[in-house]
Structure 1
């Protein structure tokens, strides 16, 4: 029985063509700044989003944590949504690595407004931590793949500038957002001091994220990456996978969105589902009826060769990706 794995878009494996690109990559020592393939990837993404420089990191979590470190000082506070990845899924890294606290907004499926930001900026008072950074996650994982409006991002950036705050984009699935909105990445990029761009989710590379920012920011980021243990050597093999993904795996993201929409529609009619959270990209969240235990349901699915993840009490998340095709969709519908 073929396993259908919808736990995450990180479960994909490199395609044969991507593997060939990795095998033929030119490499050097990246710590010495001598890996030509890494340099190409960093420069390409920096140019794409209108930033001066980029830095390859092993993971999106490390890229986000480096960004927090270089955009804040110990004792500062950052603003984010209460469902954000940097709060839920980065091991308390903001406190551990940077000594900052989080001011969390109860937004709309992971999104908040400029007015929300304004209301959560601390007064200039020695009793309060200094508000220093605003973090946005686009798309929002726990928001069901929800997409931020670029107009609202602009308003938040204006509020941040007026209040001397910096802006960071957790762009773990930013290409999913851009696929739907058709926003200009150059315009999007100008609203952020730093951006982390993940390669191992929708784009299907085996590992890696690139942190983008000014030359000065990225020079400081290199030092922090070294401290965090993220400086690597011949990583052009991984960077080559990222370059291949940028060339071949962006246009196909709309297929993942189409299949996720089909999943949402089909599962929404199941008797054990109370509500579907689906925002138009590649994530589907099921809110189950109160009498249904998500762990038991997932075990039943696993016995039928279907994998998904629990997403809080009474919730299940499914994520479509490169290795889930139309035939897999038909097979899934047959099994459950």
Structure 2
């Protein structure tokens, strides 16, 4: 019988509602969300719009739906989206932009998921009838496959300015924007100031069971509402899950700094053990990768042995693992996971 997972570091989506969050959900005031009558959803939308410095916001079931609705609003079939080659929208959303919006990607190679304004300018197509139309620049804050790297606000502003100068929209995949805000010491609105659309995920570091909130101008939101209904994102008494989001923003936002510290501690403990190399070298938020290319065991073998101890890491490839800290793992548990990992990779 497989041992139950007791220390789950595969993703911050592994979080479960805390007792306080569950109480808030049970006691939520609700109505018909589809008819714009759910007071808790409306409160969450207003709160996130304010936090992101946008005119309006829209509660949705998932972050992937946020991205796809944004592309559907900004793009037409045959358009092109400029993004990092290791961006979530390019590699982990089922080719949704091409399947739904009919848009393709033009990717910018980058190790940490962050590119520069000059690279955007170089990627923008010259207007020609036989070429795709460059329509959107999409950034991911934090950059997941960049090891949770944080886009500097100055770089975000420069990228958005180049996009607008060429008539493109600027979109932010803000799945872990709250982590970036805490790590940078700047409010979320400072990160989204130059963007036409942005969103935050509620089901990652903030610890909610489901949901994300997409924000933009009132005009953008009118179009987004159309696509929300068409894609099946409209809900009924959604206040029960929106209440989790309000609770998380009040109680789980500032504590994201604890997750960042746990990730830094883990990186310091395991780097160099058995030939392991941690990426990034300087952990900024709650995500890090483990390069096992110099180890005797491959990632799947290590993961299997960790599972025997009730511990789970993510496996990205034969030589690469991912570790993500979150509110449901304590510092002591992170230390325990590191110790088991070290013993496994150093075994002869």
Coarse TM-score class (shorter-chain normalised): over 0.9
Q: Does 1:283 align with 2:305?
A: no
Mapped partners of 1:276, 1:49: distance in 2: 29
Mapped partners of 1:120, 1:251: distance in 2: 37
Give 5+ residue unaligned stretches, structure 1: none
List structure 1 runs of 4+ shifted beyond 6 angstroms: none
Aligned residues, how many? Answer: 336
In the TM superposition, what are the counterparts of 1:1-80 in structure 2 within 5 Å? 3-80=6-83
- Please name the residue that 1:132 is paired with: 135
- Please name the residue that 1:265 is paired with: 268
- Please name the residue that 2:323 is paired with: 318
* Residue 329 of structure 1, aligned match among 324, 328, 334: 334
The answer on whether the counterparts of 2:31 and 2:38 sit within 8 Å (CA) in structure 1 is yes
Task: Give 1:127 deviation, angstroms.
Answer: 1.4
Task: Give 1:126 deviation, angstroms.
Answer: 1.1
The answer on whether the counterparts of 1:75 and 1:130 sit within 8 Å (CA) in structure 2 is yes
- Please name the residue that 1:300 is paired with: 305
- Please name the residue that 1:178 is paired with: 181
Task: Give 1:318 deviation, angstroms.
Answer: 0.6
- Please name the residue that 1:232 is paired with: 235
Mapped partners of 2:170, 2:338: distance in 1: 42
Give 5+ residue unaligned stretches, structure 2: 342-348
Q: Does 1:187 align with 2:190?
A: yes
Task: Give 1:172 deviation, angstroms.
Answer: 0.4
Mapped partners of 1:206, 1:275: distance in 2: 30
In the TM superposition, what are the counterparts of 1:190-201 in structure 2 within 5 Å? 190-201=193-204
Mapped partners of 1:102, 1:321: distance in 2: 31
State the TM-score, normalizing by the size of structure 2: 0.94
Q: Does 1:146 align with 2:149?
A: yes
* Residue 252 of structure 1, aligned match among 242, 252, 255: 255
Q: Does 1:91 align with 2:63?
A: no
